[in-house]
């Protein structure tokens, strides 16, 4: 088990779908053992936005989605391009145990969001 998959209290819900990381979140890029680690620092505010019409299927408060959302939002804020951040988001969802159909839908949603 990596640090990423450990079940710890690492974020605080601020309001609606806004969260604040209270602990750093690290995710190893590529494959396990790559030594390429992306870190979201504590104190980073992120959003787990899911359209209201889909929240009966996908809860924006599902712990399986939150770390991936924090990484995705931090990557975008740090200047990474949307497809790369979306790919890392999808990989983080996979490690978190999210099924492939949900991961695919969420990947397309975050990657194409810019053009909504």
| Dist. CA 39–CA 109, nearest whole Å | 23
Taking only the tens place, the pLDDT of each residue in 52-102 is 777 888 889 999 999 999 999 999 999 999 889 999 999 999 999 999 999
C-alpha gyration radius of the chain: 13
Taking only the tens place, the pLDDT of each residue in 20-50 is 999 999 999 988 788 899 999 999 999 998 8
Whether the per-residue pLDDT at 116 is higher than 50: the answer is: no
Please tell me the predicted confidence (pLDDT) of residue 30: 86
Whether the per-residue pLDDT at 13 is higher than 90: the answer is: yes
Q: How far is CA 115 from the centre of its chain?
A: 20
Split at pLDDT 50, 70, 90, the class of 7 is low
């Amino acid at each position: 088990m990596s640090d990423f998959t450990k079940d710890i209290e690492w974020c605080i819900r601020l309001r609606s779908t806004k969260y604040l990381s209270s602990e750093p979140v690290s995710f190893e890029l590529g494959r396990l053992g790559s030594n390429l680690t992306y870190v979201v620092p504590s104190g980073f505010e992120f959003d787990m936005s899911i359209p209201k019409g889909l929240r009966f299927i996908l809860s924006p408060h599902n712990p399986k989605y939150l770390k991936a959302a924090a990484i995705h939002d931090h990557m975008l804020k740090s200047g990474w391009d949307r497809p790369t951040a979306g790919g890392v988001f999808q990989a983080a969802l996979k490690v978190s145990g999210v099924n492939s159909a949900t991961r695919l839908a969420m990947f397309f949603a975050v990657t194409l969001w810019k053009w909504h």
